[in-house]
Structure 1
């Protein structure tokens, strides 16, 4: 694991922060990237990494991230993104849809494009954090489901396009993960509504569960590619089927 450098986007909280910690424990030098510089600076200090402020929807910020990260990057975790709103299509907030698409699809693609030459040279790997929302639509989820499905399409296309290149393309597709911010952001800071998402669910996943999977994928031998892993809590059999206690 010597001289292995990982870049984690969306590292200021949740799955991104947990993944940065896990990769550092695996021996990676970790570059924590996110918009909130105070948070990633604290995380970088904790794990002995580096913090580089970056909004993945800003082309100049993405270019700066790639330049400052340098030529030793062997792993990219595309984690930045998220959901906004839960309205039916008839009431869709199209500005929110554009924001979700910009971060989850365009942003992830822009960061990947910026790092791809280095990753190919270093025989590295890209891991996209998508969602089981990409599996199909659910009521109120058209915007987020569409964005994550589009991100998954990027993953699949890249794997075909780069089959002759020494770079691996993987996808982690989490189901219900309870983090401190995902649902809170989705519902505009409404804590009660965010808590209701997980009400009665016995042990939803936590960020560290997904970080464990990312750490495992990142440490497979160079000839092993993990195309996609779906990770759900036991209480969630499918996107629409969740067991809740009274």
Structure 2
């Protein structure tokens, strides 16, 4: 734990599973007060019981939920760090077969959800004097690939939002961090993207030696937000060694 971490407080979205859940655990181990945010109340309650985090069920795409979340965090003493992890992908269709509902969902969760949470909490972060916003994007937001257009577009949007935010908030001493993971094997990401087809989801990682885990990414998040405040890790790209690029993945025994 660094000298700056005592009494630090973070809002972490997407906390019911995967990288969000792992981030809550990582920050709680550092002694942070953590507000764990997600839609699934039962999973949040279990996480809170195990870690001591404060569970706040909310849908980040809904204005009323965001307002209630802000009110509850304010009443509980506020936060100096916002960790936007909630997001996801739906479908692998090419543009010619794109499903509007899938694209709409991806933009609402990845881009508009991030915007709504950040907009709501910026006054609190500015008032703190040493605020941090960390956005989890993706390597899909840096390089496009076939069958990824909807997710590419959403994550490119979130990436652009993050860059603009950094420029706008530097004068308020808010550091803005982007972490862009590549291939991460989590409980639900590929399963949700592929419509619940477990076999197809498992095939995404077939033959890949040591894909990243949620804990790997959460450890990078922890490091980024616990570094001294004058240290801003603008953008961190993290991939497994087996994934040299989005289009080059080494698969063994396949």
1:2 Cα offset (Å): 2.8
Which digits, 9 at most, give the CA deviation of each residue in 1:95-128, with x for residues without a partner? 1000000000000110011111111111110100
1:72 Cα offset (Å): 2.4
Do residues 159 (structure 1) and 134 (structure 2) align? no
1:99 counterpart (105, 120, 145): 105
CA contact (8 A) 1:4 1:72 kept: no
**In the aligned structure 2, how far is the partner of 1:50 from the partner of 1:225?**
27
Which digits, 9 at most, give the CA deviation of each residue in 1:200-228, with x for residues without a partner? 00000000000000000011111111100
**In the aligned structure 2, how far is the partner of 1:117 from the partner of 1:97?**
30
Which residue is 1:202 aligned to? 209
Which digits, 9 at most, give the CA deviation of each residue in 1:145-199, with x for residues without a partner? 0000000000000111112112110000000000010000001110000001000
SS at match of 1:31: strand
2:43 counterpart (19, 39, 44): 39
SS at match of 2:141: helix
1:40 Cα offset (Å): 0.8
Runs (5+) with no aligned partner, structure 1: none
Which residue is 1:109 aligned to? 115
TM-score, length-normalised on structure 1?
Answer: 0.98
Following TM superposition, the consecutive aligned residue runs of length 4 or more in structure 1 with deviations greater than 2 angstroms are none
2:94 counterpart (83, 88, 104): 88
Runs (5+) with no aligned partner, structure 2: none
Which residue is 1:191 aligned to? 198
SS at match of 1:127: strand
**In the aligned structure 1, how far is the partner of 2:147 from the partner of 2:60?**
25
TM-score, length-normalised on structure 2?
Answer: 0.95
1:3 Cα offset (Å): 2.3
Number of residues of Structure 1 aligned to a counterpart in Structure 2 = 246
**In the aligned structure 2, how far is the partner of 1:46 from the partner of 1:31?**
14
Which residue is 2:223 aligned to? 216
Which residue is 1:150 aligned to? 157
Please report the RMSD computed on the Cα atoms of aligned residues, expressed in angstroms.
0.8
